[in-house]
Amino acid sequence: MEEDSLEALSAPPEAWPEAMALVTGEPPSVAEEAATAEEPEAKVALSLLEVLTVSVVLEDMGDQLSILGYIMPWPLERRQSAAPVGVRSNSPDKPSVTFATSKTSSSLLHKVPLSPEAKAGGQLATEFNKTQELAFKTPTGQAILTMEMLKKTQSDRQFLSNIIVSTMQELQESGTFMALLQALRKEKESKMHFYDAIVREEKGRKMIKSLQKQLINVKKERQAEVQSRNKYIAHLKDQLQEMKAKTNLENRHMKRNTELQIAQTQKKCNRTEEVLLEEIEKLRMKTEEENRVHVEIEMFLKKEQQIREYEQVIIEDRIEKEKARKKMEQDMLELKSAIKLQAWWRGTVIRKEIGGFKMPKKEKDDSKDSKGKDKDKQKRRGKK
């Protein structure tokens, strides 16, 4: 696959068909592509004499193209729809370019040296004339063009005449020929795209051929593989029959063996079942006894709990009564001490006449009697 793709990339243009080469022309070389890629687009204005020289050359080329359009054989489709010659001369496909150039300017053209751009235009015109002469000198039998070649030639002629007209208009207006350079650049780009498409098509064809070869090889391999697998399947079927017979014998033997094992295990299970029933009965009796003991213990614990609650209530009652008694004793003691303190303070106030209280002198005996009475009252209160 990789070798075919490399061959398609390195295939020379000479190997292409003649019809394709006639229609498209030879592809540009690598050096030409590099030169065109490196060419800067500089806008150069020509002098008046150079403009006149180039205009005359372009006018001559336009006239030759229009003449070529009239004398070339037309395709069948366009012959049927074509008009007479007088009408066709006014059609846009055959433009007639006319310029009014004076005799003096034409006489000066031979004396003024031409610029490189004018020389290039003259070379293009001479090459076109040579190709035209060769085309007319060849015999008519050898120069029979197909429909596609005629269409291509007519379209190229029309394209070239349009470029010449636009270039002449630009030369007359601004003295430059940028339209010609732009048209050449666009044409080169379109040709390069076309050549790339041709190369890709060649690659695709070679790729398809290699893939077809691979497909044939794969089919052969698959057929051989299918045959080997069919043989292997037949061998496996024989082995399957043998295995079925063996498995049937083994199944019978295993069936008898399992029946005997089931009978033995059933006897063992019956024995163990009896033992388990006995153990279950013993456990049932134990559980009944444990339940009875548990109930008795619960009753005993409930009674103990009630007794403890009663004792707790009695103890709490006694503690509360003791607290109340101690509190009453404390209150009585505080009351007695407060009464004694008040009596002592009153006595000191009266004896020492503290504050505004003063005893009258006449009534000393009465005061003593009253003090004795007060003391008796206080003593009585303390006893209470």
Residue-wise pLDDT for 113-150, tens only, equals 444 444 444 554 565 556 555 545 554 444 455 677 87
pLDDT band at 22 (very low <50, low <70, confident <90, very high): very low
Q: Mind listing the pLDDT tens digit for each residue in 248-263? A: 999 989 998 999 999 9
* Residue 93 reports pLDDT greater than 80: no
- The Cα–Cα gap between 68 and 154 comes to 9
Mean pLDDT over 267-272 rounds to 91
Residue 344 Cα distances to 151, 179, 290, 364, 365, angstroms: 155, 143, 80, 20, 20
Mean pLDDT over 49-66 rounds to 80
The amino acid at 332: M
* Residue 39 reports pLDDT greater than 90: no
The amino acid at 64: Q
- pLDDT exceeding 90 applies to what percent of the chain? 31
Q: For the chain, what is the mean pLDDT?
A: 72
Which stretches of the chain are DSSP H helices? 2-9, 18-24, 30-38, 48-71, 76-81, 85-88, 103-109, 116-137, 147-174, 178-352, 364-383
* Residue 2 reports pLDDT greater than 90: no
* Residue 86 reports pLDDT greater than 60: no
Question: Apex CA 249: angle with CA 248 and CA 255, to 5°?
Answer: 85
Burial group, residue 69, by CB count within 10 angstroms (0-12, 13-18, 19+): buried
- pLDDT at residue 55, as a whole number: 76
Residue 309 Cα distances to 59, 302, 322, angstroms: 141, 10, 20
Mean pLDDT over 156-180 rounds to 80
Per the model's pLDDT, the better-predicted residue between 93 and 207 turns out to be 207
Question: Apex CA 316: angle with CA 315 and CA 318, to 5°?
Answer: 65
* Residue 16 reports pLDDT greater than 60: no
Q: In the structure encoding, which two tokens stand for residue 27, read together? A: 């592809």
- pLDDT exceeding 70 applies to what percent of the chain? 61
DSSP letters for 83-122: --HHHHTTSTTS--------HHHHHHHTTSPPPHHHHHHH
- The Cα–Cα gap between 237 and 4 comes to 46
pLDDT band at 278 (very low <50, low <70, confident <90, very high): very high
Per the model's pLDDT, the better-predicted residue between 164 and 13 turns out to be 164
